Amino acid sequence: MSLPEKVRLVEVGPRDGLQNEAQPISVADKVRLVDDLSAAGLSYIEVGSFVSPKWVPQMAGSAEVFAKIQQYSGVTYAALAPNLRGFEDALAAGVKEVAVFAAASEAFSQRNINCSISDSLQRFVPIMEAARQHGVRVRGYVSCVLGCPYEGMINAEQVAPVARELYAMGCYEVSLGDTIGTGTPGATRRLFDVVSAQVPREQLAGHFHDTYGQALANVYASLLEGISVFDSSVAGLGGCPYAKGASGNVASEDVLYMLQGLGIDTGIDLERLIAAGLRISEVLGRASGSRVARARHAQ
């Protein structure tokens, strides 16, 4: 299978990247990050999450962030809405696209959201109905697709029915997430081969964490399987709280550098993206998690 000519990066830094930070992050800094990413040419940015601040303190103020960002024409500004209350809050904030999460691991589902995979999917039914009524698109995520902190290795056959159910419910795209970053290229290729028998490849995306240093290799393996949408996080923001030593999402800058080297079009300005990552890293008081950014910044 030939490599895709175009790839869409889904920038999850402002949500998935910042939600596990220990230090408070101001609304102004979140707005600046989203605006920097828009200016760099990202066409899809996950801005925040409409969840209880009690559970995810860093996502408090998501409605205010949505109200203050510059919304570029042609750019999708999305939010996580895990329940109907979250969806209603997102709708009130003017959000046009939301995301819902399920897991491929029963143990992870029970530990993370205190219910079975089947029950978690049932919780999305009213969200999907409300989304249809209001013309809001819904993107689905499946976590722990290649490994689980409680169950160990996850077989592709466990992932396929969850992805199929999300697609059948009305998720226009399903992102398969290697939440703890233990996946390898061979397992990644088999994952997409098996799941694509249930969900068209054009409706699948990859979401890779770099805990074991395999994220870029897994992105490339996915490209070989015809996958053309990838979640990534500027400056590699975001660690996984369930995996010891997890280094977080694959850095958007590193994915973009590789894609440019392959001659694949994204419409994103690498230098502006690097600058966005360096700015938020300075706010957080640490070096960027992007190897490309660190190499360019050292020159």
Catalytic residues: 240
Do 71 and 94 form a contact (C-beta atoms < 8 A)? no
- Residue in this structure with the two tokens 């993370």, named with its chain if needed: 112
Contact predicate 102/117, CB 8 Å: yes
Cα dist from 49 to 86, 97, 138, 160, whole Å = 8, 12, 14, 26
Q: With beta carbons less than 8 A apart as the criterion, state whether 115 and 109 touch.
A: yes
DSSP letter for each residue of 168-230: HHT-SEEEEEETTS---HHHHHHHHHHHTTTS-GGGEEEEEB-TTS-HHHHHHHHHHTT--EE
Q: How many helices (H) and strands (E) does the chain have?
A: 12, 10
Question: 283-290: long-range contacts (C-beta < 8 A, 24 or more apart)?
Answer: 283/25, 283/29, 284/21, 284/23, 284/25, 284/237, 285/23, 288/235, 288/236, 288/251, 288/253, 289/235, 289/236, 289/237, 289/247, 289/248, 289/251, 290/234, 290/235, 290/236, 290/251, 290/252, 290/253, 290/254
The per-residue DSSP string of 133-168 comes to: HHT-EEEEEEE-SSEETTTEE--HHHHHHHHHHHHH
